[in-house]
Every structure is written in structure tokens, then in C-alpha cells.
Amino acid sequence: MAGLAINVDHIATLRQARGGSTRYPDPVHAAALAELGGADGIVVHLREDRRHIQDRDVYLLRKTVLSRLILEMAATDEMLKIAVEVKPDLVTLVPEKRNELTTEGGLDVQGLSESVGQAVQTLQAAGIAVSLFVDPESSQIRASTDADADMVEIHTGAFCDAPTPGEKQRRFSDVMEAARLAHHLELGVNAGHGLCYNTIGYFAGHRIIDEFSIGHSIVSRAALTGMEKAVREMRNLIKEL
Ligand code: PXP
């Protein structure tokens, strides 16, 4: 069975929506509940601009996560220093642009081979396994082997966002082809970005993905499935006034 790692960034997005004046919802609490639900890992992306996850979240999660802590980050000196200190179970290196809404594309491992290779070495020397978030392109998968990565995470965004069934099938084939190549090259194979309750079924029977990394769709679903209970709790408090 493939693993399921839950990205709790958007719990922090909700908290930060009030400019840091509330402590809730706390991604540390969400991570514990995700683990109770069967999560095999907890993912957070500490961005340079700290728009959602804060340093405090990463350090606390290291102490509380019972499954595996996966830190997504850019390969900057600042983030490498934090990772070496926190020692997550896995670091996923991602490209980061200040103005993007979410990670837009995969890491250009081929174009940035020297800096990516150095970051991989630094992390592995600290005992941290490293995954590279790449587009489903054979050149990037091969470059990931050259960079000595332990695994790749294949970007499923283009597949998930494809506007027509034909395009979706083509993009899914790209993901599968990249996954098969990575597997052949003895890299671990994760997949993520944009996966939701409708797209996950495409992977049925393809037992090649080690772990799916999913955030936005699950946090969104949790907000709706929890709405009735949350309203009832406030309704009851008001009844008692
Ligand atoms: N994997 C990576 C590398 C990501 O950057 C993200 C988004 O933070 C995800 C997986 C999860 O994507 P989503 O929130 O769309 O499920």
C-alpha cells in the first residue's frame, strides 16, 4: 500500500489569516489528528516569507510527530541551517518564488546541478534523506540520480489541472513514465501537488508510488466535513447563555 503524507500548511494559512493574532488553528494539533486518521507522515513547507508555517511549528512538530516529519524547503543557506538543526526524517527540495501562490513547477535539477548536489550532500551528511520535487521529465529524473538524491517527488500538478479527459490521460502517462524511470534508477518515488478525491483513483493498480503527499484537498474537505459539528458546538454554547 502506498503511504499518505499530509501537508498541513493550509491549517497555518488559516491561522495566519488573522495576522498572527490567533493561535488557532494550530498545525501541530492538525498533525496529531492527521496521524490519528492514519497519516504516514506530516509535511510542512517553511517558506522564506513565512506566509503560513512558522519556525515554531517546525521545531514543535519535530517533538510531537510520531510518524515521519517531512520538511519542504528551498535549497537556501537559511533553510539548510534549520533543516540540519531540526533533522526531519526527509527533506523535499522545491523551487520557491516569492510571488507564487503555491509551488509552481518542479526543481530544475539539471540546470542547478551544482547547488542541488551540494544541498543534497549537506543534508545527507546530517543524516537526513533527500527527495527532489521534479516535473515528470526523464532528464530531471536522471539528473536527480546524478545529484545522489534518495528519492524524487513527481509533480502531479499538470495532471491534476488538465482541462480535458484526453489531456489528463496524457499527463497521467507522463507521471507514470517518470515514476517507472525513477524506480528503474532505484530512486524512491513520491508524488504530489493538486491531488484530490477525484484524481487519486487514476493511480489504482499502479503500484509504483511509495507515498502521496496531499494537502489542500484534504484540509478543504476537513473544513466542510467538520462544519456541522463546529456550528452545533457554538449553537449549544449560545443556547446556554
Ligand atoms: N508536494 C509539494 C512539493 C508541494 O509543494 C505541495 C504544496 O505545498 C504538495 C505536495 C501538496 O500539494 P497540495 O496542497 O495541492 O495537495
**Where are the chain's structural domains?**
71-239
Task: Tell whether ligand 1 has an atom less than 6 A from the beta carbon of residue 92.
Answer: yes
Catalytic residues, by residue number, are: 45, 72, 193
Answer whether residue 181 shows pLDDT above 90. yes
Per-residue HEC secondary structure of 186-235 comes to CCEEEEECCCCCCCHHHHCCCCCCCEEEECHHHHHHHHHHCHHHHHHHHH
Superfamily for 71-239? Aldolase class I (3.20.20.70)
Task: Tell whether ligand 1 has an atom less than 6 A from the beta carbon of residue 51.
Answer: no
Find the distance separating the first CA and the last CA of the chain, reported in whole Å. Answer: 50
Place of cell 521534479: 134
Task: Tell whether ligand 1 has an atom less than 6 A from the beta carbon of residue 52.
Answer: no
- CA–centroid distance, 7 to ligand 1, in Å, is 7
In angstroms, what is the C-alpha Rg of the chain? Answer: 18
112 or 66, which is more confident: 66
Task: Tell whether ligand 1 has an atom less than 6 A from the beta carbon of residue 199.
Answer: no
Answer whether residue 240 shows pLDDT above 80. yes
Task: Tell whether ligand 1 has an atom less than 6 A from the beta carbon of residue 15.
Answer: no
For the stretch 201-231, pLDDT in tens is: 999 999 999 999 999 999 999 999 999 999 9
Answer whether residue 99 shows pLDDT above 80. no
pTM: 0.97
- CA–centroid distance, 75 to ligand 1, in Å, is 17
What atom of ligand 1 comes closest to residue 196's alpha carbon? 16
- CA–centroid distance, 226 to ligand 1, in Å, is 22
What value does the mean pLDDT of the chain take? 97
Answer whether residue 103 shows pLDDT above 80. no
Q: In which element (H, E) is residue 131 found?
A: strand 129-134
- The pick from 14, 94, 156, 193 for probing ligand 1's pocket by mutation, whose C-beta has the most ligand atoms within 8 angstroms, reads 193
185 or 113, which is more confident: 185
H runs (alpha helix) in 65-164: 77-86, 113-125, 138-146, 157-161
